[in-house]
Amino acid sequence: MFSPARLRYEDEHCLLQPVEDFEIFDGFCCGDDDLNEFIKVDAKPHYDELLSVTYSYHLKHEEAISPPVAFASLLNDTIRQDSERRHFTKSRKRALFPQRKRYKEYPAVKIGRLAVDGRFQRKDIGTSLLTLLKQIFITSNRTGCRFLTVDAYRTAIRFYEKNDFSLFIAKDMDGADTTVSMYFDLMRYKSFILENARP
């Protein structure tokens, strides 16, 4: 029998695990009504209908585990070159891929929703959660996944930029949309990790 335990990550500081019982988020509040409603009402049906998997992030102190301080909801994604809103410019594509790996579509995982409880914001929790997700997707993948993507709230662009996400196209900055599409190249991250692991 397969078990979600395979997707659980734990060290002495934190625990990240797929959520099955969403009542653990009863006391959660991130300051954004849509995200609060998602985690309390919509995340479970999304999980039951295989539309997204939500991960809860907890802090550990000695052996005690906190209630969830953050969550990230993930789903499969594709970056298509014929998409108006999300494609690589020619020069970006040349930089990202050698000639023989230039496809019309690239596999990705989308961060559908991500939020940190208001009491814990600006304490590096969101950054730690993103770092864990990056590590998970370069080590424990069942299928190929080259990019993390996100439709970031405009207020969160700085947060994602600080975590090395890039904007797809500058056109997104025209102010018409409430969110802006961004991506993170997992291959660049993997190379960085390998480079730094060398003796």
Taking CB under 6 A as the rule, does residue 112 contact ligand COA? no
The C-alpha atoms of residue 126 and residue 75 are separated, in whole angstroms, by 18
Please choose, out of 11-19, 56-64, 101-109, 158-166, the segment that lies near ligand COA by the rule CB under 6 A: 158-166
Taking CB under 6 A as the rule, does residue 75 contact ligand COA? no
List C-alpha distances in Å: 99 to 31, 86, 168.
45, 20, 20
Taking CB under 6 A as the rule, does residue 125 contact ligand COA? yes
Taking CB under 6 A as the rule, does residue 31 contact ligand COA? yes
Please choose, out of 15-23, 45-53, 134-142, 154-162, the segment that lies near ligand COA by the rule CB under 6 A: 154-162
Taking CB under 6 A as the rule, does residue 159 contact ligand COA? yes
Terminal CA-CA length for the chain: 40
Residue at shortest CB range from ligand COA: 126
Q: How far is the CB of 198 from ligand COA (least distance, A)?
A: 28
Do 134 and 148 contact (CB within 8 A), yes or no? yes
Q: Read off the DSSP letter of residue 19.
A: -
Do 47 and 54 contact (CB within 8 A), yes or no? yes
Query: What residues make contact with ligand COA under the rule CB under 6 A?
Result: 30-32, 35, 114-116, 121-127, 150, 152-153, 155-156, 158-159, 162
